[in-house]
Structure 1
Amino acid sequence: MATASDFRTCPTTGLKVHLPAERLIKANAVAAVVFLAVGGLFGLLVALTRSPWAARLLPADWFYLALTAHGLDVLIVWIIFFEMAVLYFASAVILSSRIAAPRWAWTGFVLMVVGALIVNVAVLQGQSSVMFTSYVPMKAAPHFYLGIILFAVGALIGTFVFFGTLVVAKDEKTYEGSIPLVTFGALTAAIIAVFTIASGAIILIPTLLWSVGIVSYIDPLMYKTVWWAMGHSSQQINVAAHVSVWYAIAAMVFGAKPLSEKVSRMAFLMYILFLQLASAHHMLVEPGVSSTWKIFNTSYAMYLAVLGSMVHGMTVPGSIEAAQRAKGYTKGLFEWLRKAPWSNPAFSGMFLSLLIFGFLGGISGVVMGTEQINLIMHNTLYTPGHFHATVVGGTTLAFMAITYPLINLIFRRELVMKKVAQFQPYVFGLGIIGISLFMMAAGTLGVSRRHWDITFSDAPLAFDYPAAAFLMMGLNGLSAVLAALGGLMFVAVTVGSILFGAKIEGGAPAAKPKAAPAVAQYGSVQHPAIPGTVVLVAIFFISFVLYYFVNWKYLSEVWPLR
């Protein structure tokens, strides 16, 4: 049983922080930023190698090595480390509870660190350049699979510590009524994580045995099917987690409450029931998967999953608008948005994350999830263009945004280089917008997804992409440099603040806590008026319909009707 000395109270927010949970959040957040920096460097090298103005920066073998390391470090390691920090924050801190089984949580953290290091060593040794998907019959070194398994086991332990903390908080009555919406969103992410990690174990343990010669054969279609149950579902953990972060920042910055707790929770439930089925778009050309399954997953299941994201895409800005209008920003449709704190990197990063995820990641995801259209773009650069909009523009930018208030709340440090922090979300966001748009444009022109040299200069048969494709790849390289600069700014501010920022002394709670009532309590805003959000949603739908039509036109040119 924790004692009063095991807790402190944040003087700014009034949130009660369990010190063992605080230390775990710090450790996971620091590890996350380290691997973000490593993975980002590999990503920059990949983008430059494929750009016309720095073509062949890396030789072919190093290109695929860097591509493998980039995918693993930023799609898996950075994000899941940070999600562990989010889970502990959403349970122990928001619920003012002690964390359950901190020793088990540290065991999970150590396994994750060891696993991540083993995977990176395996890749850098040059015998495991199998890329993020690691499809068989390509075979990596045994410790490549071992590292991923250890990392996954550590994450699973952390997930169960989160579940245990919810039980502790309920049993010790640290909150009243239902858990807050941010915690509910984190619970959604944790439930999907259990499914994801179980799928990974089902396929990666036999693959490890195959790599050492104990198992003689792994069926490629079976591997791909089960792997994507893990690979794509891991990205659905990201969606649930970063949407939770959107709600948290709206509450912490504006004191905003959701438009409807019940509707937002139903949208999270749709993620659990339908969103992980989105992996179907990786299987649409596989003959071993039935047409019925493909049609169901690219129609009804996708519609319900997308509906969940559309609900969040309306309720998050809607809750901010309602909070701003309650403060008197009622002139016209958008005074509430114009008078928002755009110099606050927590808000600007969150709102850019929402826009990029919705307009670029969301619309392109629906297009890719449509069975007929998918076939003309799936194995092109359009695919990484899409998931850079979702995972980088959506998840990574949201996680960067929540880091700024967490430096104050958890690390108890003032930000250094505040001007750099102020501009960082815009620099990084603009770079990611460019990467996503130019990759998708190059993919629309047919540029292959993973080829080292799009000029095919060593090929026995000549092939030329349109000149516009090379322009898109050059602009993609420039955008990658800009995104890398934004990432470097983030690392510099966070590391500098943790090491050199002025200490914030924890004392008695503030007289008027700003965030706790909204972020840590259940409840909806009463009778909201959100005309500005309605207009933004209308713009989104118009953009979606127009782009959807354009892609059907592209399809008609591939399959002309005579």
Structure 2
Amino acid sequence: MTPQSTNSIGLTGSPEPAVVLPQPGSSGIRRRICDTTGLPICLDAQLFIRINAVLAIVCLLIGGIGAILLALTRWQTIHLLRVDWFYRILTLHGLNMLIFWILFIEVAILYFVSTSLLKVQLFSRKVAWVSVIMMFVGAVMVNVTILVGKADVTMTSYLPLLAHPAFYLGIILVAVGTLIAVYNYFATIYVAKRDKTYEGSVPLVVFGATAAAIIAVVTLLHGAVVMVPTFLHSLGWIAQPDPMWYRLIWWGLGHQSQQVNVCAMVSVWYFLGTMTTGARPINEAVCRSAFVLYILFINLASAHHLLVDPGVGSTWKIWNTSYAMYLAVLASMIHGFTVPASVEVSMRAKGYTKGLFAWLTNAPWKNPGFSGFFLSLLIFGFIGGITGVTLGTQQINIIAHNTMRIPGHFHATVVGGTTLAFMGLIYYVVPLIFRRDYIFKPLARIQPYLFATGIMMLSLGMSFAGSMGVSRRSWDIDGAGSIYGPAAHLMLGVAGIGGILAFLGLLTFVLLTVGTVLFGRSNVGRKMDDWGTPKPLVAKVAAASEHQSTRGTMVLAIIFLISFAVYYFANWKALADVWPVR
């Protein structure tokens, strides 16, 4: 990797003695300069980035093991787990993959962007210790409670299903620990602003991370409102909260937590675009406005989980899943254009100008950081985004609710989108934070493709099976007789094969990462090994690169819109077939 401008993101750490550098308004901070990016690295932040990253990988592995067990159970031909263990592992998988793995890595991202990009010390080591200890203890409590059979309630844990009090207390500890980390982040930004450690507006990646942190605060407050009374009820201290109230407030936690992921994921896209191709946002004002749309409207979009619930009215449902949701979707579409457009502008400025897609075909596809983020963008947009908007439409939701189309959608967004992007990020985190170059680089180069292929097969298999009526969260679809045709079983087989490939990709990633941290070659005192960056074809890279053509990205956007229109109207046709007019 060649050094990029300091507007990019670098992640480093070092066992060597700290260098104390001056900072306005203070006597100095403990930090070092990244050998690769030239960015300052706060050594206090570095410690907690490492700790949170390690815990994130552990949770990813636990969730991944749960995923393969579930995939081989829903594949009716294999049907691996007993019914009790199916729901036990379903609970374990959901919480580790959707909550714990992502929260730990997002806390690491917050600590990095607030200290390195703003050139400031982490606000408080003590606060960071309290945060990570609470999150760790909470995650352990939840996982142990699940595995001993005291919390077979799935991730949503809808009342009147009731788990052991330790389950709810563990979730509360993780939520409060995360909230404390977010406080540390905001306090660090305040110190940077007070001491004027940066000029002008905060970098775009910091802006995106701040949007994620703001949404996280609202999300965690919903969690406190719903989990504290449920915890007290599990102790027998208060009466059972109303189940409809629980569902309404829980989705303020459940859906919004995934939108924290979206903000963090998009920030990682911008980061990796810069680090792998030298891309810079083509219009920062537009990009920032899209993050603001997330803050204002993403919570309203969570209504699509409640479209068949009688506890809320039709007017509320229609407003939140039409006008309000479309504004949140608009934000994703803006980023979905500006990220590849920035890559196109950068590549064309380097001389890759032939035709519509020379910039794309000559991109560094052998770099797992680039392939991870770009495949993440494609899967999130073309599969997760298109299905999400469609399933969020009230009328269409009637024929899709509680079918496997729903997990087919969010596996494309959270796994194919967020997790794959974070994997691409970690291919830079480990060399720069742990200061070890990756082992078995040829294997690392193919890992994103293996994982992405598996997730696409898994998601599409689930979605098509759901279109044939196969329900989600069901242990056995043939228990009352064979009511599904061979096509549904074929799609479950496709999902099962995809689950196997995705698990192999995940396991490869974990083994490579752990092996590198333990046995990788040290890069202390030098730049990290080059994953592969595109070489300029021209003697002088165009200075006004932001004015270069983005016609290739425009064609991709048109293909996306056509794909969306076809899928959307196909669903209206399927709805019309339910109530035929004769």
Q: TM-score, normalization: structure 1?
A: 0.95
Q: Distance in 1 between matches of 2:557 and 2:577?
A: 31
- Equivalent residue letter for 1:371: Q
Q: Distance in 1 between matches of 2:487 and 2:155?
A: 28
Alpha-carbon distance, 1:561 to partner: 2.1
- Does the 8 A contact of 1:385 with 1:436 survive in 2? yes
Aligned to 2:555: 535
- Equivalent residue letter for 2:517: I
For structure 1, which segment, 336-345 or 286-295, has the greater mean C-alpha deviation from structure 2 after superposition? 286-295
Alpha-carbon distance, 1:132 to partner: 0.6
Alignment match of 1:142 (pick from 165, 188, 205)? 165
Aligned to 1:350: 373
Q: Distance in 1 between matches of 2:448 and 2:461?
A: 20
Q: Distance in 1 between matches of 2:487 and 2:555?
A: 34
Aligned to 1:479: 498
Alignment match of 1:14 (pick from 5, 14, 38)? 38
Q: Distance in 1 between matches of 2:29 and 2:248?
A: 50
* Residue aligned with 2:299, SS: helix
- Equivalent residue letter for 2:379: I
Aligned to 1:517: none
- Equivalent residue letter for 2:570: V
Alignment match of 1:51 (pick from 75, 100, 104)? 75
* Residue aligned with 2:77, SS: helix
Aligned to 1:560: 580
- Does the 8 A contact of 2:168 with 2:227 survive in 1? yes
* Residue aligned with 2:41, SS: strand
Aligned to 1:60: 83
- Equivalent residue letter for 2:39: L
Alignment match of 2:267 (pick from 230, 241, 244)? 244
- Does the 8 A contact of 2:36 with 2:527 survive in 1? no
Aligned to 1:116: 139
Deviation string, structure 1 residues 78-116 (Cα, Å, up to 9, x no partner): 010011011111111222221111210111000000000
Alignment match of 1:311 (pick from 324, 334, 356)? 334
Tell me whether 1:23 sits opposite 2:47 in the alignment: yes
Aligned to 1:503: 522
Q: Distance in 2 between matches of 1:31 and 1:539?
A: 39
- Does the 8 A contact of 2:29 with 2:42 survive in 1? no
- Equivalent residue letter for 1:160: Y
Deviation string, structure 1 residues 267-292 (Cα, Å, up to 9, x no partner): 01110111122211111111120111
Alpha-carbon distance, 1:125 to partner: 1.2
- Where does 1:381-530 land on structure 2 (aligned, <5 Å)? 381-456=404-479, 459=480, 462-506=481-525, 526-530=546-550
Aligned to 1:267: 290
- Equivalent residue letter for 1:474: G
Alpha-carbon distance, 1:174 to partner: 2.1
Q: Pairwise CA RMSD of aligned residues?
A: 1.7
- Does the 8 A contact of 2:290 with 2:334 survive in 1? yes
- Equivalent residue letter for 1:481: I
Alpha-carbon distance, 1:338 to partner: 0.8
- Equivalent residue letter for 2:73: T
Q: Distance in 2 between matches of 1:173 and 1:102?
A: 21
Aligned to 2:255: 232
Q: Distance in 2 between matches of 1:500 and 1:16?
A: 26
Alpha-carbon distance, 1:247 to partner: 0.3
- Where does 1:79-90 land on structure 2 (aligned, <5 Å)? 79-90=102-113
- Does the 8 A contact of 1:346 with 1:402 survive in 2? yes
Alpha-carbon distance, 1:120 to partner: 0.4
- Does the 8 A contact of 2:76 with 2:476 survive in 1? no
* Residue aligned with 2:62, SS: helix
Task: State how many pairs are aligned.
Answer: 546
Alpha-carbon distance, 1:49 to partner: 0.9
* Residue aligned with 1:6, SS: strand
Q: TM-score, normalization: structure 2?
A: 0.92
Aligned to 2:56: 32
* Residue aligned with 1:52, SS: coil
- Does the 8 A contact of 2:115 with 2:188 survive in 1? yes
- Does the 8 A contact of 1:261 with 1:524 survive in 2? no
Aligned to 1:518: none
Alpha-carbon distance, 1:5 to partner: 6.8
- Does the 8 A contact of 2:384 with 2:410 survive in 1? yes
Alpha-carbon distance, 1:508 to partner: 10
- Equivalent residue letter for 1:76: I
Q: Distance in 2 between matches of 1:322 and 1:89?
A: 27
Return closer, same or farther for 1:254/1:3 CA change in 2, 3 Å cut-off: farther
Alignment match of 1:162 (pick from 177, 185, 188)? 185
Q: Distance in 2 between matches of 1:479 and 1:443?
A: 16
* Residue aligned with 2:436, SS: coil
* Residue aligned with 1:526, SS: helix
Q: Distance in 2 between matches of 1:442 and 1:18?
A: 49
- Does the 8 A contact of 2:376 with 2:420 survive in 1? yes
Question: Which runs of no fewer than 5 residues in structure 2 stay unpaired?
Answer: 1-22, 534-542
- Equivalent residue letter for 2:395: Q
Q: Distance in 2 between matches of 1:12 and 1:348?
A: 20
- Does the 8 A contact of 2:458 with 2:495 survive in 1? yes
- Does the 8 A contact of 2:29 with 2:121 survive in 1? no
Higher relative contact order (CA closer than 8 Å, sequence separation 6+) = 1
- Does the 8 A contact of 2:382 with 2:560 survive in 1? yes
Return closer, same or farther for 1:200/1:303 CA change in 2, 3 Å cut-off: same
Aligned to 1:519: none
- Equivalent residue letter for 1:178: S
Alpha-carbon distance, 1:52 to partner: 2.6
- Does the 8 A contact of 1:9 with 1:508 survive in 2? no
Deviation string, structure 1 residues 279-330 (Cα, Å, up to 9, x no partner): 1111111112011110101110111111000000000000000011111111
- Equivalent residue letter for 2:368: P
* Residue aligned with 2:521, SS: coil
Aligned to 1:520: none
Q: Distance in 1 between matches of 2:189 and 2:409?
A: 35
- Where does 1:90-101 land on structure 2 (aligned, <5 Å)? 90-101=113-124
Q: Distance in 1 between matches of 2:256 and 2:428?
A: 28
Q: Distance in 2 between matches of 1:134 and 1:525?
A: 51
- Equivalent residue letter for 1:332: G
- Equivalent residue letter for 2:398: L
Aligned to 2:212: 189
Alpha-carbon distance, 1:474 to partner: 1.0
- Does the 8 A contact of 1:258 with 1:524 survive in 2? no
- Equivalent residue letter for 1:25: I
- Equivalent residue letter for 1:338: T
- Equivalent residue letter for 1:390: T
Alpha-carbon distance, 1:374 to partner: 0.7
Deviation string, structure 1 residues 55-99 (Cα, Å, up to 9, x no partner): 2x1110000000000000100000100110111111112222211
